[in-house]
Structure 1
Amino acid sequence: MIDIGLDSPAQEDVRLLLEEHLADMYAASPAESVHALDHAGLSRPEITFWTARENGSLLACGALKEFPIGADGAKEGELKSMRTTHAARGRGIAGLLLAAIVCEARGRGLSRLCLETGSEDYFAAARRLYVRHGFTECPPFADYVPDPNSVFMSLELIPVDLP
């Protein structure tokens, strides 16, 4: 059984997965185009962090960063640090985790969920995952600027009440 739940990015197994994630990001993209966060960055108050585990073993992680978009208190979210372990790839774990984060973002009343990923071939599988879940390309959001090494995507959210 796959358990998706809130977790700490400071957990030893999570930190190791995030370090692997960062190393891969720097290997695939120029340093100025890497926007991934380390475990300390993912521990900030505006970020909620989840893991997917099976029998306690880490399978994947992902995070939701909230940010205001206007003086009226409206908020959007950014998907951060989606990563699946090598052993768990191809099992649909990323899709399960992404669906859980999208559901939470809707439940929080966020108007849109955005993300930044790479434009290189290395990121093609991630881009296909996001498209399968309804994300479409969009202009840079929040503090991002146009970058040929980045693809920006978003999903408009219709708020729903969570049980």
Structure 2
Amino acid sequence: MPRPDDLEIRVDDLTDQATIALVRRHLAGMHELSPAESVHALDVAALQVPAVTVWSAWRGDDLAGIGALARLSETDGELKSMRVPDAHLGTGVGRAILRHILAAAAAEGLTRVWLETGSDAGFLAARTLYASEGFTECDPFGHYLPDPASTFMTRSL
């Protein structure tokens, strides 16, 4: 079984067709699981703005996952666009990307990271991962409004 330590995680400019396709798959998946008004995933163009950094994880030439961090302020960031292709689920890729992003956020001087994810069963694995890495549920933050289809979480760095 592949191990998380065989990954190369790097900043991604979203010009590679594999990463573009995974972002598009992520958006489609969010629309499959959530009502349209509850989908807060970003498209490729929104992930390419200066306030957002995207990372991709690779096993050789195989894209194993993506994740992003949107800077909200001098001290706060929001985790965005975490996605692992089906072939890499359960291999530790999501956890490795999450830990990489949290370390990068701390190195940039951020002191808190927030996230929004779905609240139904299709998002249980994501919520479980985030909770296991120290995230706790919280009230809506930033521009978000209360939404029964959303779970909001935060973690200090």
Unaligned runs of 5+ in 1: 69-73, 158-163
Give the match for residue 110 of structure 1: 110
Deviation at 1:58, TM superposition (A): 0.3
What's the TM-score, normalizing by structure 1?
A: 0.91
Distance in 2 (CA, whole Å) between partners of 1:154 and 1:80 is 13
Give the match for residue 3 of structure 2: none
Give the match for residue 123 of structure 1: 123
- Match 1:33 to one of 28, 34, 38: 38
- SS of the aligned residue for 1:58 comes to strand
Q: How does 1:39-58 map to 2 (within 5 A)?
A: 39-58=44-63
Distance in 2 (CA, whole Å) between partners of 1:114 and 1:56 is 31
Q: Does 1:9 align with 2:28?
A: no
Q: Which stretch shows the higher mean deviation, 85-94 or 2-11? A: 2-11
What's the TM-score, normalizing by structure 2?
A: 0.94
The sequence identity of aligned pairs, in percent, is 45
Q: How does 1:8-157 map to 2 (within 5 A)?
A: 8-68=13-73, 74-157=74-157
Letter in 1 for 2:138: C
Deviation at 1:11, TM superposition (A): 1.6
Unaligned runs of 5+ in 2: 1-5
Deviation at 1:109, TM superposition (A): 1.1
Deviation at 1:20, TM superposition (A): 1.0
Tell me if structure 2 keeps the 8 A contact 1:10–1:39.
no
Letter in 1 for 2:9: I
Q: How many residues align?
A: 152
Distance in 1 (CA, whole Å) between partners of 2:14 and 2:80 is 12
Runs of 4+ in structure 1 deviating by more than 6 angstroms, as ranges, are none
